[in-house]
A and B are shown apart, each in its own frame.
Chain A
């Protein structure tokens, strides 16, 4: 029996971009008085409808600026849609940017507590989880050193470890696997596989088509804000790859 985990109904996102950047209140007030405020509207997503069942692994492909990250932001409830509806069942953990909110002066352990809190966990809960997080990240020796002394790979390991240890129902991964050495990448893939087996939903945005094929059964292709292909990851990535290198692929207006 499958249940819906994510549902998007004709979701559109428009960003309003001021034609001239007005960052100050003074300038805004002056222009407002003169009635000179122009905005360009940029549609990052146009009427995207999508249903993802619990336990599905979905890869998202598309060019830069196609709207992939906006899609993840919507699911992570970081921003509301301009039109349409987004419904999410279950807890999401974004792996949008590794090490977000890490503070260099604080130790690894203190940062784990902070990251956990950013994900909405209590202190007691995080204290319980910390040993396991540290073990997975293989940072036992360094966990009480300030994070500014860490290498990029070490910080990434710690962040990935926190984000996946908190057992979200829906894991959102945005290009996060690109950093770190071979061993780390293998461990990450293994953990995503564990997630999948546990019936969790995984959303993976990546330019590495091989990563999408390896980790996901299903893939969607976003082009200029529209969902243009939705199918098994092998055929969608193949089609997308072909289109990228210039093969003629008919892009439907929208699915």
Chain B
């Protein structure tokens, strides 16, 4: 009996056929959609577990950037005498963006071990773990808008209509963070030191990105370092609508979208083709 005869017999299309030659990237996307409920559960779990036994609970998410802001404002505006109007707002917009990016990507890198334990025993599309990392990051980002608003009110800073652009900026940034997360997750499935390495990279990256300082203080001969840094563009599309009250220029937006799309699509394809394989060769 040939294989084709066998396959004709049972009627319904098999739910799983290891020999089916579909695109892994498309297959992964379809599976992620089916398992969107799991992404939701993982995000909820993460947030619940983190705050279940803490006194201040969810307030921590909002308090942490505030305390950071106070410390950094002291350092940068008092000690370094940096001339930035309303430094607290300048810093907060950068810090919120940074927290989202670094948390999301670090979580994606560090989840590999746990998630492989689950994914070795039960079928789930592995991309749910990266998606949930992005989800948790977005929830925290939404929460940290509260301390930002507090600062705006306290310092009598105007709330511009350009705030309306923020969802678009966040979407572009989430796409980039997801892309980096996918690359990291895949690497981390194969090599256990990726997580530690990334911790160091993130720290360095923070200082190379104009979060706490204004890009104008970078000497002309080092400007190229800014231009090569994708986060230089991405932090601006988030900061401009809130701090400067203007929409990002078409060029800035174009560069940001291009960077995010390329990172995400390449990450998705690499991840879909490798993450599963790496998990089983690790032993």
Contacts and interface: CB of A to CB of B under 8 A. Distances in A.
B45 A89 contact: no
Interface of B: 3, 6-7, 9-12, 14-19, 34-35, 37-38, 40-42, 45, 48-49, 52-53, 117-124, 187, 190-194, 197, 276, 280-283
A164 to B, nearest CB: 14
A86 B17 contact: yes
Contact of B18 (A24, A28, A80): A80
A87 B118 contact: no
B37 A77 contact: no
B17 A25 contact: no
B191 A96 contact: no
Q: With a 10 A CB-CB cut-off, give which of B119, B121, B124, B280 has the most chain A CB atoms.
A: B121
A23 B192 contact: yes
A117 B191 contact: no
Contacts of B48: 105-106, 110
A103 B6 contact: no
B49 A105 contact: yes
Interface string A192-220: 00000000000000000000000000000
Question: Across chains A and B, which 8 residue pairs bring their CB atoms closest together, nearest first?
Answer: A25-B191, A117-B41, A117-B38, A24-B193, A85-B19, A86-B18, A88-B16, A3-B10
B49 A7 contact: no
Interface of A: 3-5, 7, 9, 15-17, 23-26, 28, 51, 73-74, 76-81, 84-92, 94, 96-97, 100-101, 103, 105-106, 110, 113-114, 116-123, 126
A23 B6 contact: no
Given A78-B123, A84-B18, A100-B122, 15 more contacts: A3-B11, A7-B6, A25-B187, A73-B120, A76-B122, A79-B280, A87-B7, A87-B16, A87-B19, A88-B17, A92-B16, A94-B123, A100-B121, A118-B118, A118-B124
21 contacts: A9-B3, A15-B280, A15-B283, A24-B193, A25-B187, A28-B190, A74-B18, A85-B17, A87-B19, A88-B14, A96-B121, A100-B117, A105-B52, A106-B49, A117-B41, A117-B42, A118-B118, A120-B35, A120-B37, A120-B38, A123-B37
A17 B18 CA distance: 23
A89 B7 CA distance: 10
A101 B48 CA distance: 15
Contacts of B14: 87-89
Contacts of B190: 25, 28
Contacts of B38: 117-118, 120
A78 B122 contact: yes
A78 B194 CA distance: 24
Nearest to B281: A16
A86 B48 CA distance: 39
Given A9-B3, A78-B121, A80-B276, A121 B10 contact: no
Contacts of A84: 18
